[in-house]
Amino acid sequence: MFKKIKVSKYLAYLFLIVVSAIWTIPVIFGIVTSFRSQTEIVNEGFRLLPVNWIVDNYVAILENTSSAPILQWLWNSIFIATLHTLLVVAVISITGYGYSRMKFKGRDFLFFTLLAISFFPNVVNLIPSYKIIDILGWVNTPWAMIVPGLAGMGNIFLVRQFMRGIPMELDESARVDGAGDFTIYAKVILPLIRPVLIVCGLFSFTGSWNDFLWPVIVYTDVDKMPVTAGLLLLQDIYGNYRMIGQLMGSAILAIIPTLLLFFFAQKYFVSAINLNSGIKG
């Protein structure tokens, strides 16, 4: 019995180490490539460590501040993604509560209809979406990046799914104590769904960070662009990647903020255990 746990523990370690190694090698290769010259890349091929470490790629990315103000882009992204994420968390928790814990006629029908509509691939939607942003006067403003994403159904679906796993008895006993819906939402449900809200926040942050077509359409000023769209301006227009190292370098710079966020956020979506004790799945 004791042994069994030990064996399975080592198995878990083995599995995680193997998978992480496979997943990490390409990342390391990408990072290392950003420290190599074009000459070395085309001549040496796949080598885990560069022959000569160079920082020229990063210097080239950072010094071009007039046409590619990468630090400004990073700041823009942080601003947009943060505000967007805070609003998403507010919207999805309230809406998710409405669709899972309140009773009203046609509730599920309404929810699934909205979900179904949101499943249609948006190809030409770009044109009407831009028109709407234009009418609202949001062209070339951060609003165009922050607000439309709040309408998405994916996160609400996830929150609703998690909320369905919380027993209704909790609400009922709170109601007996005289609590209204807002109290139940804020005091009972919100603490319980904190892990999933953090997950959703992370998704929103990453999604907003990685969106590259929409910002190109709604922004005209290079200075106001978020970093992912801005970095596209560094690649040349012919599809031939002239500078492999620079492309890698810029991709790596772009993920640092999201990575930091993930590193700190993960503590919260796994540390919610205590709050959940006593709840049966």
Partner 1 sequence: MKKGLMILFASLVFVLAGCSGGDENTIQFWTPLTGEDGAYMDELVDAFNETEPEFEVEHVVTSDMYTKMYTVLNSGNGIPDLSIIHADRVTSFVKQGLIEPMTGIMEAQPELNTENYLAEAWEAGNVEGTQYTVPLDIHSNAMYYNKDLLAKYGVEHWLDDNVVTFDEMLSLQGQLEEGQYVLNDALAGWVVLAQIQNLGGDIQQDGAPAVNTPEMEQAIGAIKELADAGLMTPYGEDGYLMFQSGNVLFSTDGTWSSTGHGQVEGLNFGVTNIYAFEPTTFHNRASSHLFAMLEKEERTDEKEQVIGDFLEFIRQNSLKWAEAGQIVASTEVIESPEYDEYMQSFFTSTPEQEESLHIYTYEHYPYVAEAIDTYVGDLIHGEMDLQQGLEEMQKFVDDKVAEGSLDIENAETEETTEE
Partner 2 sequence: MNNNNFLKPLLFVGPHIILFIVFILIPSVYGIYASFTNWNLIGDPVWVGLDNYKTILTDTDSTFYSQFFNGLKNTLLFVVFSVPLLIIIPLLIAVALEHKDLKFTSLFQTLLYIPGLISISAAALVWSLIFNKQLGVANNLFGSEAVWQTTQPYAWIIILIITIWAGIGGNMIIYRAGINGVSKDLYESAEIDGAGPVRKFFSITLPSIRFPLIYTMVMTTAGAFNVFAQPLMMTDGGPRQSTTVLMMYIRDLAFSHGESIAGLASAMAVLLGLVILVISAFQYYVMNRNAA
CA 252, CA 58: separation in Å to the nearest integer? 10
> Judged by CB under 8 A, does residue 117 bind partner 2?
yes
Q: In the structure encoding, which two tokens stand for residue 2, read together?
A: 């004791």
Helix (H) or strand (E) holding 95: helix 70-101
Cβ distance 181 to 102 under 8 Å?
A: yes
Q: In the structure encoding, which two tokens stand for residue 173, read together?
A: 């006993």
**Short-list 227, 112, 208, CA closest to 160:** 112
> Judged by CB under 8 A, does residue 256 bind partner 1?
no
Q: In the structure encoding, which two tokens stand for residue 92, read together?
A: 């999805």
The partner in contact with residue 119, picked from partner 1, partner 2, none with C-beta cut-offs of 5 to 8 angstroms by kind, is partner 2
Distance of CA 165 to the CA centre of its chain: 24
**Nearer of residues 72 and 118 to partner 2, judged by Cβ:** 118
Binding partner 1 by CB under 8 A: which of 143, 203, 268, 269? 143
Cα–Cα–Cα angle for 255, 33, 41, nearest 5°?
Answer: 150
Binding partner 2 by CB under 8 A: which of 76, 95, 204, 208? 95
Distance of CA 68 to the CA centre of its chain: 24
**Short-list 249, 243, 263, 101, CA closest to 175:** 101
> Judged by CB under 8 A, does residue 216 bind partner 1?
yes
**Short-list 88, 86, 92, 81, CA closest to 259:** 81
Distance of CA 102 to the CA centre of its chain: 29
The partner in contact with residue 243, picked from partner 1, partner 2, none with C-beta cut-offs of 5 to 8 angstroms by kind, is partner 1
> Judged by CB under 8 A, does residue 108 bind partner 1?
no
Minimum separation from the CB atom of position 56 to partner 2 (A): 18
Minimum separation from the CB atom of position 273 to partner 2 (A): 5
Minimum separation from the CB atom of position 87 to partner 2 (A): 10
> Judged by CB under 8 A, does residue 139 bind partner 1?
yes
CA 144, CA 218: separation in Å to the nearest integer? 7
> Judged by CB under 8 A, does residue 187 bind partner 2?
no
> Judged by CB under 8 A, does residue 178 bind partner 2?
no
Binding partner 1 by CB under 8 A: which of 3, 117, 221, 274? 221
The partner in contact with residue 258, picked from partner 1, partner 2, none with C-beta cut-offs of 5 to 8 angstroms by kind, is partner 2
| Site pattern 2..41 for partner 2 (x: CB under 8 A) | --xx--xx--xx-xx--xx--xx-xx-xx--x-------x
Binding partner 1 by CB under 8 A: which of 2, 23, 43, 281? 43
Burial class, 106, CB count within 10 angstroms (exposed 0-12 / middle 13-18 / buried 19+): exposed
> Judged by CB under 8 A, does residue 73 bind partner 2?
no
> Judged by CB under 8 A, does residue 107 bind partner 2?
yes
# residues near partner 1 by CB under 8 A: 42
The partner in contact with residue 67, picked from partner 2, partner 1, none with C-beta cut-offs of 5 to 8 angstroms by kind, is partner 1
